[in-house]
A and B are shown apart, each in its own frame.
Chain A
Amino acid sequence: MSGALASPPAAPPPGDAPSPARRSAADSSASWRLTDRLGLAFAWFLGLLFCAITAAIVIFLALQGIRYLHPDLIWTNPQVGFNQSETGGFLAELIGTALVAGIAIAIAGPVGVGVAVWLSEYARPAGLARVVESSVEMLAGAPSVVLALFGILVFERKALGFLSETNGGVVFGKSFFAAGAMLSLVALPLVVTTVREGLQAIPNHVREASYAVGKTKRATIRRVLLPAARPSVITGHMLGIGHVIGDTAIIVLLLGDTQSLQGVGHIPLLGFLQGTGSTLTSYVFDNAPTGDLNQPNKAYAAAFMLLLLVLALNVMVDIFGRRSKELLWT
């Protein structure tokens, strides 16, 4: 924690005898200059402040959440009612969250791994590689509401009418397909960056060892590099899912934000995916004290649920991240 700010003292204070205790004296901040000590104190303060803020959020949401999150909220769909005890739960939102995350990662996963492999292993011509690289970075920095706006323009086109509901020749443009496709752009940069880092962490002699027994580049990527980078692939997917389920703007603008799943047509699953719905984030958005529905108890419960999901994903990222460090060549 003190690494960046605390430079070692310029000289040991006079009278500091060179003894076994000298090392600990130099390590202790008591012998530092005042500015260094202030710097260290500031670093400690900031570190603890962030811990406190995080703890406050988690504890606040946990207290509210535990108070309001009843199991039946998870098992029931939203209903029309006059007070908060009559409006049901958020089963549809949980399903919506899962569907959106599934669609987004089903697109962003393979595309992201492919882009990462190309950037790490081929990257020719170099100019194109630079363009791809900065595109990925730009995508990572793009606000999701901008992506959502762009998505509206794209998915209202007649050619893409099959992805949402079409009524009297007018394409609605809002559906799980549309939201999932745009959300995949949110997940993509995370997958690309993580997988690429994983691939680049593999020493070159490992690739050469595969070539040196007569394997092609393709076989090497398929059988050696991607399996070696598997923890990174998994981590990238988890991070991608985490961002997707936390996104609100694209959901509100592209998923229709309907309280229940509104299927289209008669084909069971496809109908749902062409239809509209909402997710936990848009549910919180609508039910927050400042939202249209203003049911704070439901908002707290759903927000806590969302927090639990994201925390679970983070824990999994940690586990796979640690596992990836076990498998290292020198």
Chain B
Amino acid sequence: MDLRQPPPVRRLDPGATVTPRPARPPAPAADLAAGAGGSAANGSANGHGGASSFVTARRAVRPTVPAIDRMAIEDVSIAYGGKPAVRSVSLPIRQGEVLALIGPSGCGKTTLLRSLNRLTELTRTASLSGRITLDGLDITTLEPTALRRRVTMVFQQPNPFPMSVFDNVAYVLREQAKRRPRRPALRGAVEEALARAGLLDEVADSLDHPALRLSGGQQQRLCIARALAAQPDVLLLDEPCSALDPQSTKVIEDLVVKLREEVAVVIVTHNLQQAHRIADHVAFMYLGELVEYGSAAAVFGRPTQQRTRDYVGGAFG
């Protein structure tokens, strides 16, 4: 439960606007500055875009609203057929910030993410202990379908359904398998979801085209639009950019940073630079355990655990 308290490094955050990140090697920093500078220019909600250095660029898109606790993972362990995948992990998930789960392959980060909307239950052998709450309510007391509308998910591979762009979003808005409401009634909501995912301008003329004809990056943003159409409280992203090119990746990263003020965002990524660019808090997992949790600045700049240092250092050092 200690993890639900703001970690010590968080106190530094307000002042961090002008504090450079310590101990970042120069070469990747230059890359990051380029990427995040663009991110700020495009994604800034409060007009501080165009900043010149990485750190100020990142800070320019700091959320304007205070973070609110939405979900809490309390001492959760998950096993597949008796083989543990996640070992007593506790984490807060807040609206207004992006939480990145990082760690090597097979460390349980995707399993943990899938447990948040009970997708792990689809695996017959999976068993979960501990408690996950959404706005204080144990998620096991909610209907899975109701929970999954509040905690939606975007997957590693873009997976639009084999229907038109419009219907991909409308499918989420309609109740279960119903065909109603009809198109005109849904038009506004569909366009709003596409706009929130930054896709509307590109597909406004091709709403009737098959979604699988879009480019990979557009398909993934359509999947985000689909996930947003349910008006979720929490958005789960499972390595959403790993199948995409750098340009599409940047567009989606900008989008994620923008979305965090409206929904709590949890992103699984094995791309440390990406976590560095977009995450406010980072949880490093290793062999199913949560090794370190803290602000991005702390985990990447001053990791307290040797294992974190080894992992993060491998990427930045």
Contacts and interface: CB of A to CB of B under 8 A. Distances in A.
Contact of A218 (B148, B161, B177, B227): B177
Contacts of B155: 205, 208-209, 212
A210 B223 CA distance: 10
Contacts of B210: 327
A211 interface: yes
Nearest to B151: A212
B177 A219 contact: yes
Contact of A212 (B119, B162, B177): B119
A222 interface: yes
Interface in B45-88: none
A215 interface: yes
Given A214-B230, A222-B177, A330-B157, A227 B162 contact: yes
Contacts of B161: 206, 209-210, 223-224, 227-228
Interface string A76-103: 0000000000000000000000000000
A214 B212 contact: no
Residue of A205, A209, A214, A215 with most chain B CB atoms under a 10 A cut-off = A214
A329 interface: yes
A223 B157 contact: no
A216 B176 contact: yes
Interface in A188-235: 203, 205-206, 208-216, 218-219, 222-224, 227-228
B159 A203 contact: yes
Interface in B132-149: 144-149
Nearest to A210: B161
Contact of A327 (B122, B147, B162, B243): B162
Contacts, number: 82
Interface in B235-275: 236, 243
Dominant SS at the A interface?
A: helix
Contact of B145 (A205, A208, A215, A327): A215
Nearest to A214: B149
A6 B243 CA distance: 36
Given A205-B159, A212-B153, A223 B177 contact: yes
A211 B159 CA distance: 13
Contact of A211 (B148, B162, B223): B148
A209 to B, nearest CB: 5
A212 B162 CA distance: 17
* Interface band, chain B: 20 to 34
Contact of A213 (B156, B172, B212): B172
B226 interface: yes
Given A218-B176, A223-B177, A327-B162, A212 B117 contact: yes
A296 B276 CA distance: 82
Contacts of A205: 155-157, 159
B171 interface: yes
A212 B159 CA distance: 12
Contacts of A208: 119, 122, 153, 155
Contacts of B243: 330
Contacts of A228: 161-162
B152 interface: yes
Contact of B157 (A210, A212, A329): A329
24 contacts: A203-B157, A205-B156, A206-B159, A208-B119, A209-B153, A209-B155, A209-B161, A210-B161, A212-B119, A212-B152, A212-B153, A212-B227, A213-B149, A213-B152, A213-B171, A213-B172, A214-B146, A214-B147, A214-B149, A218-B177, A224-B171, A327-B162, A327-B210, A329-B212
Interface of B: 117, 119, 122, 144-149, 152-153, 155-159, 161-163, 171-172, 176-177, 210, 212, 223, 226-227, 229-230, 236, 243
Lowest 7 A-B CB distances belong to which pairs?
A214-B149, A212-B153, A219-B177, A219-B176, A214-B148, A222-B177, A214-B145
